Chains A and B, each alone.
Chain A
Amino acid sequence: MKLLKVVPDDTNIDFLRWRSWAFGISLFLMVASVGLVATKGLNFGVDFIGGQMIRATFTQSASAPVTELRETVAKLGYGDPTIQRFGAENQVSIRMKLPEGADKNPELANAMATKITETLKAGHPDVRIDGVDSVSGKVSEELFSKGILALLAAMAGVSIYIWFRFEWQFGVGAIWSLLHDVTLTFGLFALTGWEFDLNIIAALLTIIGYSLNDTVVVYDRIRENLMKFRKMEMASLLNLSVNETLSRTVMTSVSISLPLIVLVLFGPDVIFGFSAAMAFGIVVGTYSSIYQAAPILIWLKVGSHSFVPTEEAGSKAERISEGFES
């Protein structure tokens, strides 16, 4: 049987040639992302800013009467709602700030939810209430700080691991490319205005996990080649390593993108932002392993000397992985 080849044998693409360009563009995108987040802000869900979100589906209508809803809900005297379509045209989420004093007296939040859902039902007999989320200010602050803390801890933890298993430059390269991926994903959410909630943090974690996996594979090959070809110039060595792992990179990225693309296209509407973030992250993560994590090693002056004094460590690493493999 003739097998399919995703990437032709013995590619010799000069990836590193465009490293300055790639780095410049990435830096620009990262700055732009930070700028977007700073100016436009993220569309935080109730998880992170507190408040109440009611999700409703107008089962008999083609599309939800957003403008009319905005007026009706505003007339109830709880302030202006944020109304968004999510998923299908006839599904909306209505977000409200919690009424004054609701932190002390949860009855107030309750009363608001009841009032809004009853008004909806009265005006639209076909409405189906899909869910009500009510998060107090205190809890949302905790969710936010814990989410960010978890994200930072995970990034720092894995970078330290890479530093120990490779060299400090590799640790820096890994955390830089993770920062790159996470920043661009934040930028995507600021740009599109997709709702940013706890599930998106989980998506970010998946992106970090995947991007790191990719980076480790490239780094592993670089380490191997550094020990094998001591005389080779660094840029050529990186090119060689990226080319040698190219078919694996493409194959893995394609495999993992497949279910995500399906999830974006056919998956549940509730997790659209979540799937889209992951699909985006896979692309960015693959790119960053080649164009951020690898070239940074040149700038940080990794060279043939790098693994010489740590021959010990290298062979120790071999022993560990052999023990694990058998």
Chain B
Amino acid sequence: MLDFPRWRVWMLNTLIILGVLCAIPSVLPTHIRAQLAQFVPTPTINLGLDLAGGSHILLEADTSQLAETRLEALEDSVRTAMRRADPRIAISDVSRANGQLSFTVDSPTQVDAAREVLLPLTSNATGSRDWNIGVNDGNRMILTPAGTGDETALDQAMDTAKDVIDRRINALGTLEPTIIRQGDNRIVVQVPGLDDPEALKALIGKTAKLEFKLVDEQADPDQTAQGKARVGSQVLPYPDNPSGLPYIAVRRLGGISGDKLVKADPTFDSQTNEPAVTIQFDSEGGQKFARMTQQNVNKLFAIVLDGQVISAPQIREPIFGGVSQISGSFTTESANALSISLRSGALPVDLKIVEERSVGPDLGADSIRRGILAAVIGTTAILVLMFLVYGRFGMYANVALLINVAMILGVMAFANATLTLPGIAGFVLTIGAAVDANVLINERIREELKRGRRVVQAIEFGYKEASRAIFDANSTNVIAAVLLFIFGSGPIRGFAVVLMIGIVTSVFTAVTITRMWVSRWVKRTRPHDLTI
């Protein structure tokens, strides 16, 4: 048992050195680390926001709204396809309810033709069905969502949303955000060092879906005030309406969407000198915009942002070239935020903030400073005690403990893990386990010596007998850590990760490494008696 072949000694030493090397960058001051990074990789532990200060925002997608959007898109494509079918298929009574789209094919003889038209619309690129087609009463067709259509759509929407948020935050400049998807419909945004997230929230909370719609100038103001619109129109909120009525009726069709922009910049209105936003469409969007303005000169068109009208100017002349200006009651900041949002594209789904945390940098720094102080004092106390109680073997345990700390940090840095407050709890537990392993071994050696065994034999027995308890104790901790990782939420997972890493390194340093040193000492000195 005390035999250590040369290759094992080499392997163990290499592991120690690697672990410690990985830990070094994390404990260096930032400017030295930056210099070092030019020559060698410098894996570093991230500090959680609870320690480093910063903002954490959890966004959740409105999934019902996403299903509604899909249904709307389906309705659009169905109407177009039926109109373009040859011969044209007349449909009526189109309704969207309970997540289904249903309509009546006017002539029952065309039902089969209609089904043919629907087939390509209702299946996706991989050939599986997104929508099931059913027929009721001979000519009433019903499309219901099938299989994983909604989930796939959500998945894609969330991926896009993540990219959009990334672009928007990057537009703010020097922040280093972490943006990750969580679960099916959530996105976590963490920005270290930002303790006032107002600007950030204004930026990522907005969907920024821009639309241009024609105002329904025939609408009866009384009806509009009650939220009622004529067929083909809809009523939208318009808080800044000069007429005083906070609503306006717009035509459903004939508008264009503003998602095809190549540019959006804050500017000032040349006449009123108020903040505004200029946008430039891509060529396709520009052509559509030109056509729309050409056909509707002297009419009013509404600029709709996220379902709310921000202004409704008159089209004085056709606008060619695809450049337009949006004015409304902007401030310089809100004009800037809107241009960033428009540039980075609209969010494919509405996101709302369900959790928000911010920690000021002073508090975080204070936590770290006092945390480190406490850790240093506490660890020193352990080291002194271990040395006083176990002498030489206590020294071995102490060096192993220090290597253990370095290795936990090293593995965490290598895995790019984040150290949080609960993570520190996990740290304390693993340090405890490491100390305990050495205490168990040394106490057992003492016991075996007292029973009259010779030194070498007592050491062998000590390691062997203590290993069983160490194995069981650490196995239970591994089980607990794995379960915590599976069932726990964010902070608890932070605890579990440190615990898992720490258990492996603790057993490695406290059992394997100390045994290597002890065996070398035994071989070299052939001790006849041992003070422990």
Q: Which residues of A contact B (CB under 8 A)?
A: 1, 3-6, 9, 55, 57, 104-106, 109-110, 114, 128-136, 138-139, 142-143, 146-147, 149-150, 153-154, 157-158, 161-162, 165, 198-199, 201-203, 205-206, 208-210, 212-213, 216-217, 219-221, 224, 244-245, 247-248, 251-252, 254-256, 258-263, 266-271, 274, 278, 317-318, 320-322, 324-326
Could you give, for residues 215-238 of chain B, a 1 whenever the CB lies within 8 Å of some chain A CB and a 0 otherwise? 000000000000000000000000
Kindly identify which residue among B382, B388, B477, B482 contacts A213, using a CB–CB cutoff of 8 Å. B477
Q: A4-B388, A220-B472, A325-B464 are in contact. Are A153 and B432 (CB under 8 A)?
A: no
Describe B's contact surface by its main secondary structure.
helix
* Contact, CB under 8 Å: A220 / B469: yes
Chain B residue nearest to A110 in the complex (CB)? B201
A-B contact count (CB 8 A): 262
* Contact, CB under 8 Å: A217 / B473: yes
Name the distance in Å between A95's Cβ and chain B's nearest Cβ.
Answer: 14
Kindly identify which residue among B480, B531, B532 contacts A154, using a CB–CB cutoff of 8 Å. B480
* Contact, CB under 8 Å: A216 / B476: yes
A209–B480 alpha-carbon span in the complex (Å):
8
* Contact, CB under 8 Å: B362 / A153: no
**A5, A149, A209, most chain B CB atoms within 10 A:** A209
Q: A198-B492, A212-B476 are in contact. Are A1 and B531 (CB under 8 A)?
A: yes
Name the distance in Å between A260's Cβ and chain B's nearest Cβ.
Answer: 7
Which size class do B's interface residues fall under? 35 or more
Name the distance in Å between B502's Cβ and chain A's nearest Cβ.
Answer: 10
* Contact, CB under 8 Å: B352 / A318: no
* Contact, CB under 8 Å: A208 / B480: yes
Does B436 have its Cβ within 8 Å of any Cβ on chain A? yes
* Contact, CB under 8 Å: B371 / A268: yes
* Contact, CB under 8 Å: B355 / A134: yes
Residue numbers in A under 8 Å from B477 (CB-CB): 209, 212-213
Name the distance in Å between A151's Cβ and chain B's nearest Cβ.
Answer: 9
Does B479 have its Cβ within 8 Å of any Cβ on chain A? yes
A9–B449 alpha-carbon span in the complex (Å):
12
Kindly identify which residue among B354, B356, B421, B465 contacts A132, using a CB–CB cutoff of 8 Å. B356
Chain A residue nearest to B487 in the complex (CB)? A150
Residue numbers in A under 8 Å from B352 (CB-CB): 104-106
Kindly identify which residue among B377, B391, B447, B492 contacts A201, using a CB–CB cutoff of 8 Å. B492
Enumerate the 10 nearest inter-chain pairs by beta-carbon distance, A residue then B residue, closest first: A259-B378, A202-B422, A325-B467, A268-B367, A220-B469, A130-B363, A150-B488, A256-B432, A258-B381, A150-B487
* 8 A Cβ contacts from B342-395 to A: 352-360, 362-363, 366-368, 370-371, 373-375, 377-379, 381-382, 385-386, 388-391
Kindly identify which residue among B195, B373, B389, B494 contacts A3, using a CB–CB cutoff of 8 Å. B389
Does B320 have its Cβ within 8 Å of any Cβ on chain A? no
Residue numbers in B under 8 Å from A212 (CB-CB): 473, 476-477, 480
Kindly identify which residue among A130, A147, A220, A274 contacts B362, using a CB–CB cutoff of 8 Å. A130
Chain A residue nearest to B474 in the complex (CB)? A213
Does B499 have its Cβ within 8 Å of any Cβ on chain A? yes
Chain B residue nearest to A201 in the complex (CB)? B492
A258–B443 alpha-carbon span in the complex (Å):
20
* Contact, CB under 8 Å: B476 / A161: yes
Kindly identify which residue among B195, B354, B373 contacts A131, using a CB–CB cutoff of 8 Å. B195
Kindly identify which residue among A128, A154, A274 contacts B483, using a CB–CB cutoff of 8 Å. A154
**B352, B357, B386, B484, most chain A CB atoms within 10 A:** B484
A128–B365 alpha-carbon span in the complex (Å):
14
A267–B166 alpha-carbon span in the complex (Å):
36
* Contact, CB under 8 Å: A322 / B440: no
Residue numbers in B under 8 Å from A5 (CB-CB): 389
Chain A residue nearest to B464 in the complex (CB)? A325
* Contact, CB under 8 Å: A256 / B531: no
Kindly identify which residue among B60, B382, B486 contacts A255, using a CB–CB cutoff of 8 Å. B382
Chain A residue nearest to B51 in the complex (CB)? A268
Could you give, for residues 415-443 of chain B, a 1 whenever the CB lies within 8 Å of some chain A CB and a 0 otherwise? 00000011011101101110110011001
* Contact, CB under 8 Å: B382 / A270: no
A-B residue pairs in contact (CB < 8 Å), sample of 15: A4-B385, A104-B352, A110-B198, A128-B362, A130-B363, A136-B353, A221-B469, A256-B428, A258-B378, A260-B378, A262-B374, A266-B377, A269-B366, A270-B363, A271-B424
Does B511 have its Cβ within 8 Å of any Cβ on chain A? yes
Q: A210-B432, A266-B373 are in contact. Are A198 and B491 (CB under 8 A)?
A: yes
Residue numbers in B under 8 Å from A135 (CB-CB): 354-357
Kindly identify which residue among A162, A224, A255 contacts B385, using a CB–CB cutoff of 8 Å. A255
